[in-house]
Amino acid sequence: MNQSQASRRSGITGFTLVEVMVASGIAAMTTVAMLGFYITNYKIGFVNQERNRINADMREFTSQLIRDGRSANYFVLYDSIEVDARNKAADRQLDGESGDLLVFVSTRETTSITAPVLIEGYVAYYRAAMPPPSRPRCRARLKRFCRINPAWQWEIW
């Protein structure tokens, strides 16, 4: 008498090799399908999270820009942040023109028309230089530079 006949007579039951392989194959396919579903949803969630972060950064930037603009007495727009592109009054951009450097200037009110205007500070927004060709996906960033101090008093004539 062989072992399988003895197992049947004693009431011991189990799975055959074919049944175990079929069940393992079904479990593997189910796992792969669920893993694909999980990875897809993870990517969608990551993209949405990055979009939300960018949106929050843009709202923060525009809010700060609005606050600085409202507190300034006047602004000047230049074509570039380079020194040779902003050292003369003629370098200032006119209506309808664009530039890479925006300067908000805060001045102190004077009581006399002939008295010089005292600059108390300034806030500059500028676009940094473009990235090197080796990093084409890197975008230029907007930056803020602030110098506001009541102790400073520059005269403009």
pLDDT of residue 3: 59
Residue 148 and residue 123 in contact, taking contact as beta carbons nearer than 8 Å? yes
Closest by CA to 131, choosing from 140, 118, 122, is 140
Domain residue spans in the chain?
14-71, 72-157
Predicted confidence band at 37 (pLDDT cuts at 50, 70, 90)? very high
pTM surpassing 0.85? no
pLDDT of residue 156: 43
Eight-class DSSP state of 88: S
Task: Render pLDDT for 103-137 as a digit per residue (tens, 0 to 9).
Answer: 998 887 777 777 777 788 889 998 877 666 666 66
- Check pLDDT > 60 for residue 151: no
SS3 72: coil
**Percent of residues, the chain, with pLDDT higher than 90:** 32
- As a whole number of angstroms, the distance between CA 90 and CA 97 comes to 13
Residues with Cβ within 8 Å of residue 156, at least 6 apart in sequence? 107, 116, 117, 119
